[in-house]
Chain A
Amino acid sequence: MTPKALLEVEDLKTYYQVLRGHVKAVDGVNFDVDKGEAMGLVGESGCGKTTIALSILKILPSGGKIEGGKIFFEGKDIVPFEEIEMRENIRWKGISIVFQGAMNALNPVYKVGDQIVEAITTHEPDIEKADAEERAKKLLELVGVDPSRANNYPHEFSGGMKQRAMIAMSLACNPRLLIADEPGTALDVIVQAQVLKLLRELRKKLNIAMIVVSHDLSIIADTCDKSAIMYAGKIVEYGNIISIFKNPLHPYTRGLIGAFPSIKAAKSRMISIPGFPPDLLKPPAGCRFHPRCPYAMDVCNKQDPAFLPIEKAHYVACHLFPKA
């Protein structure tokens, strides 16, 4: 098998070991990201979206383990890679991540510029310090921060600038895939719009692939080409962003889109999805959404629905949609 996409995730299973058993945070997930493509990973808290991001970089917290599946990055399965191989070849140079909550991700006692330089020199030990400094300044300029601010400490930066600096740092070693974990959360609307605009521009300029992890559908609609909707550790719908929004198939996706008020749509009573997400220690049998699903049938609590293509590049896992 010769995977063509930049990143291909096949039947990924990541479990967390806790006292009461395994938390199946990610349970059999498939998707791929092409070169220069942006994919959105949407879901509520606890659905496993951040765990996917951490699995791809193999930086799971203790107790977390990839229990099955393959992750192909540029054709090579990185799941069996040793730690040293990940550090030297994949992280930062191949795939980098911007963590959620940029305010807290920078070290408060080092200058912002020095932190970017550190990232560069750690991963490219041969580089001259002056060159690294030069590159750090260029990176800051690229993300719209005045390069002279490289000598400032993080507390002298505003929230939006810290987020920009984090993005600059993630680009330090020219990765081909950037994972942005909740890039807009904890920022004000206007600053959030600025950051999203920056992400769109960077994609155009650098032709970099992106995975945007967010709970906010509108952020995904704003930045991505395609999207995977996650629920309780599984992808329930996956496909082109426009066909997902125009023709949502899975009842959960419909509920999620319905729960999002649009500023342009007429004022209406908002629709909610009854109930709450399941406990992943003992997820419901069959389709995991069936206790909350308005269309639940008999088969739903017995059999796990297969993940099937409905239209071209639009997949859904739901018993309502048998193979066409």
Chain B
Amino acid sequence: MPETLIKVEQLRKWFPVRMGFLQSIISKRQLFVKAVDGISFDIKKKEIFGLAGESGSGKTTTGRLILRLIEPTRGKVYFHNTDITTIPDREFKTYRRKMQIIFQDPYESLNPRMTISDIVSEPLRVQGFRNSTEIHEKVYKVLEDVELTPPEEYIFRFPHELSGGQRQRIGVARALILNPEFMVADEPVSMLDVSIRAEVLNLMVDMVEKYGVSFLYITHDIALARHMCERLAVLYLGKIMEKGPTEDIVNEPLHPYTKALIAAVPLPDPTTSRVDVVIKGEIPSPINPPSGCRFHTRCPEYIGDICRTKEPALVEVGKERYVACHLYSQPTK
């Protein structure tokens, strides 16, 4: 059994809703956007853990909470069994070296006025490396790792001279240069063309094998998640609906939401007939999420009042499989 690297416990982030002066007098209580509302999971060493969900389900917030780019409202994040949510900022810098992020949009996340060499070496300089030959060597090595070879052709270029795929590899290189143990990949390929997606994703898989990096892979594309991740958690309105080995979830989804999500993926095969179990409506507002099970307003397998009044717990239903749905919470099932 591989060692657990990251453990997330009952993590919650409520963003206060900003109100105007008059509104704050009239309304009695502060409203919150419940972006992440009590989720728990763990990521093992050398694992790619997937977090799937629609926009507004809280995937990105979760990624940022784990890296402490934003402070959680409640809950704990453990890195190697150390609770990193309570460490003072000053000491946290040593942890930042071990936890990095790859951003979604390679067109926005690279400073257009810095050369590739400056962009990739910036984390080193922030972390206090001063020896310029050492920095130089590290930059060369990491560029070779992300297959931007020969590195001397790239180091003096600017981001606008690179294609989208190359830019995203710079993003990976920048995250990799400090030899992190853990990386958050926030939709790393959603802005890239189809023909070059695979090279960035394969690069991530190589990083796991070569350097033993663990990943939290955030995606809206469950088909891609299946090709990348061993285990997967499906988020809906800040709650985990289903969690387990990716293969099992895709082949036999249990939660009605997961079923709908998988049925909605268009297949690259014109001969298969579509099963039209498309659910109605769109994701509700996270300010006032539905009572009980958050999915009950759209659920095709609604079983009665219990769905509306009682929030289902995330229960284990099989080997490493967890699901939060009243269909499975009865002991008889």
Contacts and interface: CB of A to CB of B under 8 A. Distances in A.
B54 A267 contact: no
Among A161, A184, A219, A264, chain B packs the most CB atoms within 10 A around the CB of A264
Given A245-B269, A276-B163, A45 B193 contact: yes
B108 interface: no
B270 A241 contact: yes
A7 B280 CA distance: 35
Contact of A261 (B166, B196, B227): B227
A272 B268 contact: no
A261 B223 contact: yes
B222 A189 contact: yes
A268 B166 CA distance: 23
Contacts of A192: 264, 266
B194 A259 contact: yes
Contacts of A6: none
Given A263-B250, A267-B247, A218 B198 contact: no
Interface string A291-309: 0000000000000000000
A105 B22 CA distance: 33
Given A189-B54, A192-B264, A263-B267, A272 B197 contact: yes
A188 interface: yes
B201 interface: yes
B271 interface: yes
Interface stretch (A82-90, A172-180, A193-201): A193-201
B262 interface: yes
A193 B282 CA distance: 12
B266 to A, nearest CB: 4
Contacts of A184: 266
Contacts of A273: 195-196
B1 to A, nearest CB: 22
A189 B282 contact: no
B282 A158 contact: yes
B276 A261 contact: no
Nearest to A242: B270
A218 B268 contact: yes
Nearest to B53: A188
Contacts of B278: 190, 193-194, 197
A224 B222 CA distance: 23
23 contacts: A184-B266, A188-B54, A189-B265, A191-B282, A193-B266, A194-B280, A216-B194, A218-B267, A221-B266, A221-B267, A222-B270, A261-B224, A261-B226, A261-B227, A262-B268, A263-B223, A263-B265, A267-B247, A270-B197, A271-B198, A272-B196, A272-B202, A276-B166
Contact of B201 (A188, A194, A270, A276): A270
A36 interface: no
Given A246-B271, A264-B269, A272-B195, 16 more contacts: A44-B193, A188-B54, A189-B220, A189-B264, A190-B278, A221-B269, A221-B270, A222-B267, A245-B269, A256-B195, A260-B268, A262-B267, A264-B267, A267-B247, A269-B205, A272-B199
A167 B272 CA distance: 26
B197 A276 contact: no
A267 B250 CA distance: 11
A250 interface: no
A120 to B, nearest CB: 27
Given A189-B222, A221-B270, A222-B266, A44 B282 contact: no
Contact of A267 (B163, B196, B199, B226): B226
A252 to B, nearest CB: 8
A277 interface: yes
A257 B55 CA distance: 26
A217 interface: yes
Given A188-B55, A197-B278, A221-B269, A267 B194 contact: no
A256 B194 CA distance: 7
Interface residues of A, number: 47
Nearest to B246: A267
Interface of B: 54-55, 163-166, 193-199, 201-202, 205, 220-224, 226-227, 247, 250, 260-272, 274, 276, 278-280, 282-283
B242 to A, nearest CB: 15
Interface of A: 44-45, 158-161, 184, 188-194, 196-197, 215-219, 221-222, 224, 241-242, 245-246, 255-257, 259-264, 267-274, 276-277
A264 B227 CA distance: 11
Contact of A188 (B165, B199, B282): B282
Contact of B195 (A44, A216, A264): A44
B218 to A, nearest CB: 14
Nearest to A40: B270
A271 B202 CA distance: 9
Contacts of A160: 282
B193 A242 contact: no
Contacts of A257: 268
A261 B219 CA distance: 14
Contacts of A242: 270-271
Contacts of B226: 261, 263, 267
B283 A188 contact: yes
A277 B196 CA distance: 10
B24 to A, nearest CB: 22
Contacts of B195: 44, 255-256, 259, 272-273
A46 B80 CA distance: 45
B199 to A, nearest CB: 4
A261 B265 CA distance: 11
A264 B262 CA distance: 10
